[in-house]
Amino acid sequence: MVGLAVAARLARDTPDLVVLERNERHGLETSSRNSEVIHAGIYYPAGTLKARLCVEGNRRLYELCAQHDIPHRRFGKIISAVADHELPHLQALLDRGRANGAPLERLSASAVTQLEPNVRTVGGLWSPSSGVVSAHGLMDYYLHAAREAGAVLQPRTEVVGLERTPDGYRLTVASGADRESFTTERVVNAAGLDSDRVAALAGIDVEAAGYRLHYCKGSYFSVTAAKSRLVSRLVYPVPNPVSLGVHALVDFAGRLRFGPDAEYLPERRQDYRVAESKRPAFAEAVRRLVPAIGEEDLQPDISGIRPKLQGPRDPFRDFVIAEESSRGLPGLVNLIGIDSPGLTSASAIADHVAELLH
Ligand SMILES: Cc1cc2nc3c(=O)[nH]c(=O)nc-3n(C[C@H](O)[C@H](O)[C@H](O)COP(=O)(O)OP(=O)(O)OC[C@H]3O[C@@H](n4cnc5c(N)ncnc54)[C@H](O)[C@@H]3O)c2cc1C
């Protein structure tokens, strides 16, 4: 998503722009394994890139969707407190969200019940600018826009070497057993789960730079058709420090699923299986929010892996979006730790990258 959005933005005034993709197609990793939620910008500390680029990205995304018929729904979201001790957290979220420029309203328990009769609540927040978008629809749009402006997508091409030369960079790419090298003036590293490795290829000490990624898996369970009408919009719990909490997601077809949980993986491996053994923990999280949905109503669904800079016990980490002249690497932009709200923010990230390069 982010690489394609950046390509669409830069291709206008960058001849010979090539998007290198290791898989046989674009969008087979994190960008198609997520909640597809258009976030409003509520959760992130004021002044951070996540706050700024999410609020700006939200506005831009709805414009793009309207202009280019990208499937989306702007049906708003409720954050529901389920116990009195969570109410102060709602107030803190309201203050933070408003400071970031996200429209938000306080809801009484009865107002939540009126909107979502099956949701447990002692009070909530209403975020009218939240919605869902088709991630594939959005990626296809960015790819089309990039190609129209002259860019080329080169699949099955993995970056395995990145070396500074007097007038730019020598990139080495692998396609199966074949290797080839070419030179380029500028490089944007939007390699998602491997963005820290690509930065290391350029000679950056990723530990010292604070660029080392943790893999944090998020799994989903879908709800059987018989119970899928119990919720009709996005419903989130009060968040925890690592993730936004297992939430209710309604997609375009009215299908209901819950997720994602947050599981730091011991190894850096893309294992997307969703373990049956997660069912009881999921059922508990779901029942807290929607008591009428039981363990037997849930089925393992997809999962995704967050490329997180924040380790299990670390405080908040912002996106890293850095032009690396200060490390002796001019014209290299690293995008690292682009976890949520990266999908919402993609077009605003692309503008930010363009500013850094100019
Ligand atoms: C469970 C979960 C839920 C989420 N929910 C939301 C949400 O509701 N809303 C939201 O805004 N965000 C959400 N996010 C975050 C969002 O999905 C990501 O921020 C976004 O998809 C990141 O896009 P990307 O292009 O940076 O990464 P990716 O989609 O990972 O793309 C990186 C690409 O680089 C390629 N690549 C990697 N290494 C190399 C290499 N060496 N050579 C060539 N190609 C390479 C990969 O194949 C991949 O295609 C969620 C994430 C997860 C995991």
Confidence of residue 246 (pLDDT cuts 50, 70, 90): very high
Cβ–ligand 1 distance for 1 under 6 Å, the answer yes
CB 55 within 8 A of CB 89: no
At 138, the pLDDT band (50, 70, 90 cuts) reads very high
Torsion sign over Cα 263, 268, 274, 276: negative
217 pocket-lining for ligand 1 (C-beta < 6 Å): no
pLDDT at 354 over 80: yes
Longest dimension (CA), the chain: 66
Question: Which candidate, 192, 195, 165, 197, places its Cα nearest to that of 181?
Answer: 165
Residue 305 CA: nearest ligand 1 atom is 53
Distance from residue 11's CA to the centre of ligand 1 (Å): 21
Per-residue pLDDT, 355: 98
Q: Could you tell me the distance, in angstroms and rounded to a whole number, from the CA of residue 152 to the centre of ligand 1?
A: 20
pTM of the model: 0.97
Per the model's pLDDT, the better-predicted residue between 252 and 14 turns out to be: 14
pLDDT of residue 240: 80
Q: What is the mean predicted confidence (pLDDT) over 240-247?
A: 83
Angle, CA of 159, 165 and 168, to the nearest 5°: 75
Residue 251: per-residue pLDDT: 85
Q: Is 22 in the pocket of ligand 1 (CB under 6 A)?
A: yes
- Block residue for tokens 């690489």: 3
Percent of the chain at pLDDT above 70? 100
Whether the CB of 343 sits within 6 Å of ligand 1 = yes
> Which whole number is the average pLDDT over 155-163?
98
pLDDT tens-place string over residues 294-323:
999 999 999 999 999 999 999 999 999 999
Local confidence band at 40 (pLDDT 50, 70, 90 cut-offs): very high
CA of 279 to the centre of ligand 1 (A): 26
Average pLDDT over residues 227-241: 92
The 10s digit of each residue's pLDDT in 264-280 is: 999 999 999 999 999 99
135-148 helix and 49-68 helix, angle to the nearest 10 degrees: 80
Ligand 1 centroid from CA 37, angstroms:
14
pLDDT surpasses 80 at 338: yes
pLDDT band at 146 (very low <50, low <70, confident <90, very high): very high
Task: Provide the pLDDT confidence category of residue 241 given band limits of 50, 70 and 90.
Answer: confident
User: Which numbered atom of ligand 1 lies nearest the CA of 220?
Assistant: 1
Q: Is any ligand 1 atom within 6 A of the Cβ of residue 199?
A: no
Q: Atom of ligand 1 at shortest distance to CA of 216?
A: 53
Model pLDDT, residue 74:
95
Answer yes or no: is the C-beta of 341 below 6 A from any ligand 1 atom.
Answer: yes
Q: What is the pLDDT of residues 51-78, one digit of tens each?
A: 999 999 999 999 999 999 999 999 999 9
Report the atom number in ligand 1 closest to the C-alpha of 306: 53
Question: Residue 208, exposed/middle/buried by CB under 10 A (0-12, 13-18, 19+)?
Answer: exposed
Percent over 90 (pLDDT), the chain = 96
Spatial CA neighbour of 305 closest among 207, 222, 202, 195? 195
